[in-house]
Structure 1
Amino acid sequence: MQMFFHKKERTPLGFCDGLDNIFVGFGSKDERGCRPPKYHTRYAPYYRIHKAASTGDIDTVKSFVLRGIFDMEQIDWKYRTALHFASVYGHPEVVTLLVQNNCEINPKDINGATPLIKAAQCRQMECLDTLLSYGADPNIMDCCGNTALHYAVYNGDIGIAARLLECKANIEAMNENKITPLLLALKQNKEKMAEFLISRGANAETCDFLGRNSLMYAVRCGSEHIIKLLLQGDIDTFKKDAFGWTAKRYAIESKSKV
């Protein structure tokens, strides 16, 4: 590992910064402080069935369903289906109609996102619950390795995270940077979410792609409550990352109050 991290390169202190690029499909923040997907901010649906699904026009969607599976599963240039749009815009009645008529429940758009991932990303609980009830896979990863649980954690939505875990979502899922939902919660300074994941058995010893565990994240992000929680669980305080730094060194070097 040393050949990749020379002494003259950047300090490891900044590791909690700049990780947002592992999430695709987020625009400017909304009134809740969350980032809406580009489905909302960049362009409107083009095909008629996608427009109907986006607006909750159940009668028009039914007319396409009656024509057969080909019309029902029409995709646009981003490989999005009517089920994607219904899930993004929050129309559970359209989601139910589509899945009851045997549409593909786990189609992937151009970014590898399924309707379930989009429902989690857009905080559409009813759509997410409907998809899970009909067997949507909670462990499919998008093009960056993020699962629906990663997006629920990113939004700090404990309700959606709990529902996903009830349906066997992998609490230890790693994206392309080996960021687990717990590490992501700490990186985003979402203490309640981190505490929730720990209570559900998330492995605090799991490390990211540079060998940094949850204690290092908690120290670097200044989360005193989570640090205490992790120490109570006998986490390895002597663990070193790829730079040879321990959690204690991160605390000292960053002059952290914790």
Structure 2
Amino acid sequence: PDTAQLLIERGAKLDLQNNNGRTELMFACRYDQPDTAQLLIERGAELDLQDNNGRTALMFACQHDQPAIAQWLIERGANLDLQNNEGWTALMFACQHDQPNTIHSLIGRGAKLNLQNNEGWTALMLACRYDLPDMAQLLIERGAKLDLQDNEGRTALMFACEMDQPNTVQLLIERGANLDLQTNDGWTALMFACEMDQPNTVQLLIERGVNLDLQTNDGWTALMFAC
């Protein structure tokens, strides 16, 4: 950071981008240089520039477990809802990499919960996909939509069933998640639970009145998956 400070004080431009579109602030976020990042932020570095892949400094901080840098960026007004070329937001990266403090900060500052990436995934789906029940609960309590479907028709409930998260399944059900939505191939949450041999989740779905006899596009039922 001393060398960086010297260059900055001598008038080095803060926001030049290399051939990949990356700035010094992005490098500081990527390579665990909180002092340099803080200096750049304080000296007025542009927070919302995007590299050739659409990633921002905040996305790098979320992706590479830099909660302190992420917090500074959030407090300084970084755009929370920009999406990279694959549709990922900072919140999605924070969910994928299990960064609860950053997730709390993003949500507290008003990050949009229901944006979908190019595959149709939301932050809630990612929390379920990566087995982060506490993060899923936080998103649900803050109003994340439960029944959005990705490009294959999967819902957060389906991901939770597939990943054996009975507590998250129960929370989704209690908040009114639709039990009988089907994927593009006709799969239901119950089928995922049966396929993955999740008896506790299956029991919970049955108790809540799930339709036992829906069929996939190939005619398979939950019972067939269970056998």
- Give the alignment's TM-score, normalised by structure 1: 0.71
Q: Does 1:105 align with 2:47?
A: yes
| Residues 5-46 of structure 1: per-residue CA shift (max 9 Å, x gap) | xxxxxxxxxxxxxxxxxxxxxxxxxxxxxxxxxxxxxxxxxx
Q: Does 1:63 align with 2:32?
A: no
Shift of 1:84: 0.9
In structure 2, C-alpha distance between the alignment counterparts of 1:133 and 1:254, rounded to whole Å: 42
For the Cα contact (< 8 Å) 1:121–1:152, is it kept in 2? Answer: yes
> 2:176 — aligned with what?
234
> 1:83 — aligned with what?
25
Look up the SS of the partner of 1:72 in the other structure.
coil
| Residues 133-174 of structure 1: per-residue CA shift (max 9 Å, x gap) | 211111111121111111110111111111111122111121
> 2:161 — aligned with what?
219
Residue 181 of structure 1 aligns to which amino acid in structure 2?
A
Residue 143 of structure 1 aligns to which amino acid in structure 2?
N
In structure 2, C-alpha distance between the alignment counterparts of 1:156 and 1:223, rounded to whole Å: 16
Shift of 1:253: 4.1
Question: Matches of residues 1-258 of structure 1 in structure 2 within 5 Å?
Answer: 57-58=1-2, 60-68=3-11, 71-257=13-199, 258=201
- The runs of at least 4 aligned residues of structure 1 exceeding 6 Å deviation read none
Shift of 1:212: 1.5
For the Cα contact (< 8 Å) 2:152–2:183, is it kept in 1? Answer: yes
For the Cα contact (< 8 Å) 1:116–1:131, is it kept in 2? Answer: yes
Give the gaps of 5 or more residues in structure 2: 202-227
In structure 1, C-alpha distance between the alignment counterparts of 2:108 and 2:46, rounded to whole Å: 22
Q: Report which structure shows greater RCO (CA 8 Å, sep ≥6).
A: 1
RMSD: 1.8
Residue 251 of structure 1 aligns to which amino acid in structure 2?
A
What percentage of residue pairs aligned between the two structures are identical? 28
Note closer, same or farther for the CA distance 1:68–1:203 as it changes in structure 2 (3 Å cut): same
For the Cα contact (< 8 Å) 1:158–1:196, is it kept in 2? Answer: no
The size of the alignment, in residue pairs, is 200
> 1:49 — aligned with what?
none
Residue 71 of structure 2 aligns to which amino acid in structure 1?
D
In structure 1, C-alpha distance between the alignment counterparts of 2:97 and 2:8, rounded to whole Å: 33
Look up the SS of the partner of 1:229 in the other structure.
helix
For the Cα contact (< 8 Å) 2:120–2:151, is it kept in 1? Answer: yes
> 2:211 — aligned with what?
none
Residue 192 of structure 2 aligns to which amino acid in structure 1?
Y
